[in-house]
Amino acid sequence: MADVLVVGGGPAGRGMAAACADLGLRVTLVDPAPRRRWPHTYACWRAELPATVAEGAVASAATRTTAVGTRPHPLHGHYCVLDNSALHRLLHRDGIREVAGTVVEVEHHTARRTVRLREGGELNAAVLVDASGSNRVLSGGRPDRVASEQTAVGVTVPSEHAEPLVPTGHGVFMDWRPARPDEDSWPSFLYAVPLPGGRTLLEETALARRPGLPLATLRRRLRARLWAAGVPISEAGPEERVRFPLDDPLPERRRTEPFGTVPFGAAAGLVHPATGFSVADVLRSAPLVAAALSDGLERDPVTAARGARSVLWPVSALTTRQLRLRAAEGLLAMPPRVVPEFFDVFFDMPLPRRRAFLSPSASPRECGGAMSELFRRAPWWLRRRLVVGGLVGPSSPSGGELERPVHHGSE
């Protein structure tokens, strides 16, 4: 019997499996195709990565990165793209048992959990880790609600062809200028990062919408943007497609802790509700959660699950998440024409304020301070929009008020 059984072989699942194995726990990882290549492009700020990942699994980094609302804003730090193959190797451990399969049933006993697979057979473990993403196969399944989603469509082109949109070796964090200036529909932006081999990913992204902006719409906009800039797409690589929920509620304790189950990654709500960032956060937090599991297993699986959740979601993190959910709702309520000017105000803020809102480790005081700073800097007409949308306002909590518990569960 394993100490820990991880369901899901993405970066979150493999990060957790590796961290548990490093502590001497017996680990089994289950995924329909545990050796498949991760298809998505993962990018983040180098400063947010664990040192081992920053040193051994970065494929490329932008020498300069810019954000554009209605005008350019230079950003500080190295924005990098992860090497998926190198990250997969970095998280591989010979002692982890890998099983190809799909979980269809779980049976809970006092000291162990039994997982049955669609392909036949069963596996036993003291604790289960649900790293199945938004499917949440061990944590109650998909919530019965329409989620706010981030969607995107991208292509890779030779970097010299992308020059009209982004200089070679540079990155575009977001550029809200539309391909057609008269377009007044739901806004989307250009995202661009350099890739190895002299290529650049150009992606049309809808930051958040409920439900997500259709991929067909984004594909049309991307082609219009490339055509307007004179970027040929005849040599474009395979299309990249992105769709994931941003604001799923945290899994209920009653569905997880009493059954020795620990949600992790997107299944645990570790997706920034206003930006969609998560990979650096899960890679940094996996060793901390693994340590809590190891300590708790000296008593019993329920104690282990409870300890893991307390590491992921202390009261301060729950409060910060609530503030960010409020900010995300404000963005959803904002008229399209206002969005670029809102981001001009945001990126004009001092770097520590921006990081306080974007960083996964920010305290409630820091996050609330960033939101209040944004309100102070906004012109009166934008302040009105922020208050109406519920994003921020004079009544935004600050100081000690932010430390009160709430119900919910970068640059």
Domain check: are 100 and 158 in the same one?
A: no
pLDDT in tens, the chain (411 residues): 999 999 999 999 999 999 999 999 999 999 999 999 999 999 999 999 999 999 999 999 998 999 999 999 999 999 999 999 999 999 999 999 999 999 999 999 989 999 999 999 999 999 999 999 999 999 999 999 999 999 999 999 999 999 999 999 999 999 999 877 666 689 999 999 999 999 999 999 999 999 999 999 999 999 999 999 999 887 667 899 999 999 999 999 999 999 999 999 999 999 999 899 999 999 999 999 999 999 999 999 999 999 999 999 999 999 999 999 988 988 888 888 889 999 999 999 999 999 999 988 899 999 999 999 999 999 988 888 777 666 665 433 333 333 222 232 333
Domain check: are 21 and 113 in the same one?
A: yes
Q: Per residue in 16-72, pLDDT tens? A: 999 999 999 999 999 999 999 999 999 999 999 999 999 999 999 998 999 999 999
Give backbone dihedrals phi and psi of 290, rounded to 5 degrees, phi first. Answer: -60, -40
Domain check: are 117 and 156 in the same one?
A: no
Domain check: are 130 and 266 in the same one?
A: yes
User: How much is the pLDDT for 395?
Assistant: 39
Counted residue by residue, the chain has a size of 411
Residue 19 inside a domain? The answer is yes
The secondary structure of residue 139, as a DSSP letter, is T
Domain check: are 283 and 337 in the same one?
A: no
CA–CA gap between residue 38 and residue 40 (Å, rounded): 6
- If one counts the domains in the chain, the total is 3
Secondary structure (DSSP) of 180-198: STT--SS--EEEEEEETTT
140 sits in the region (left: phi over 0; alpha: psi -120 to 50; else beta) called left
User: How much is the pLDDT for 406?
Assistant: 29
Domain region containing 323: 316-403
User: How much is the pLDDT for 225?
Assistant: 95
260, 282, 313 - which closes a domain: 313
Residue 62 inside a domain? The answer is no
Residue 204 inside a domain? The answer is yes
Domain check: are 213 and 281 in the same one?
A: no
Residue 115 inside a domain? The answer is yes
Residue 64 inside a domain? The answer is no
Determine how β-strand 2-7 pairs with β-strand 103-108: unpaired
263, 293, 313 - which closes a domain: 313
Domain check: are 137 and 117 in the same one?
A: yes
User: How much is the pLDDT for 401?
Assistant: 30
Q: What is the pTM of this model?
A: 0.91
User: How much is the pLDDT for 9?
Assistant: 97
220, 245, 270 - which closes a domain: 245
Q: Is 299 exposed, middle or buried (0-12, 13-18, 19+ CB in 10 A)?
A: exposed
User: How much is the pLDDT for 400?
Assistant: 32
Domain check: are 255 and 374 in the same one?
A: no
Domain check: are 134 and 283 in the same one?
A: yes
Residue 134 inside a domain? The answer is yes
Domain check: are 124 and 257 in the same one?
A: yes
Q: Is 224 exposed, middle or buried (0-12, 13-18, 19+ CB in 10 A)?
A: middle
- C-alpha triplet 86, 276, 244: angle, nearest 5°: 90
User: How much is the pLDDT for 238?
Assistant: 83
CA dihedral sign of residues 218, 219, 223, 224? negative
Residue 336 inside a domain? The answer is yes
Domain check: are 257 and 375 in the same one?
A: no
Q: Per residue in 116-174, pLDDT tens? A: 999 999 999 999 999 999 999 999 999 999 999 999 999 999 999 999 999 999 999 99
Domain check: are 160 and 132 in the same one?
A: no
Residue 136 inside a domain? The answer is yes
User: How much is the pLDDT for 180?
Assistant: 73
CA–CA gap between residue 335 and residue 54 (Å, rounded): 38
